[in-house]
Chain A
Amino acid sequence: MIETLWVIILSFSLFAIGIFGLISRRNLLFILLSLEIMLNGIILLFVAASNLHGNNDGQIMYLLVLTLAASEVAVGLALVIQIYRQQQNLDVDTLTKLRG
Chain B
Amino acid sequence: MIEAIFMITAIVCLISALLTVTAHNAVHALLYLVTMMIAIALIFFLFGSPFAAALQIIVYAGAVMVLFVFVTMMLHQGEKSNLDEKALFSLKNAKGPLLLATILIAELLMISVQPLEMNSSLVPLSAISNEAEQDSAQRDNTSQPNSVKSLAIQLYGPYRLLVIIAAMLLLSALIAAIHIARKTPKHVDVDLSPEETQLANKQQKANS
Which residues of A pack against B, CB within 8 Å?
A: 1-10, 12-21, 23-27, 29-30, 32-34, 36-37, 40, 43-44, 47-48, 50-57, 59-60, 62-64, 66-75, 77-82, 84-85, 89-91
Contact = CB atoms under 8 A, between A and B. Distances in A.
Contacts of A89: 84
Given A1-B2, A2-B126, A40 B37 contact: yes
A75 B173 contact: yes
B170 to A, nearest CB: 6
Interface of B: 2-3, 6-7, 10, 13-14, 17-18, 20-21, 26, 29-30, 33, 36-37, 40, 43-44, 46-49, 51-52, 55-56, 59-60, 63-64, 67-68, 71-72, 74-75, 84-85, 88-89, 93-94, 96-98, 100-102, 104-105, 108-109, 112, 119, 122-129, 132-133, 135-136, 139, 145-146, 150-151, 154-155, 159, 162, 165-166, 169-170, 172-174, 176-178, 180-181, 183
Contacts of B71: 29, 77, 80-81
Contacts of A23: 96-97, 100
A51 B151 CA distance: 12
A20 B102 CA distance: 9
A16 B147 CA distance: 32
Contacts of B21: 17-18, 20-21, 24-25, 30, 33-34, 37
Contacts of A9: 108-109, 112
Given A5-B122, A19-B100, A26-B89, A66 B59 contact: yes
* The 9 residue pairs across chains A and B that have the minimum distance between CB atoms: A71-B173, A21-B21, A54-B132, A24-B94, A20-B101, A23-B97, A78-B181, A24-B97, A78-B180
Nearest to B48: A51
A24 B172 CA distance: 30
A56 B165 CA distance: 18
A30 B29 contact: yes
A28 B167 CA distance: 27
A91 B125 CA distance: 43
19 contacts: A2-B6, A3-B122, A7-B125, A9-B109, A12-B104, A13-B14, A14-B17, A21-B21, A37-B33, A37-B36, A44-B40, A51-B47, A52-B128, A54-B136, A68-B169, A70-B63, A73-B67, A75-B173, A75-B177
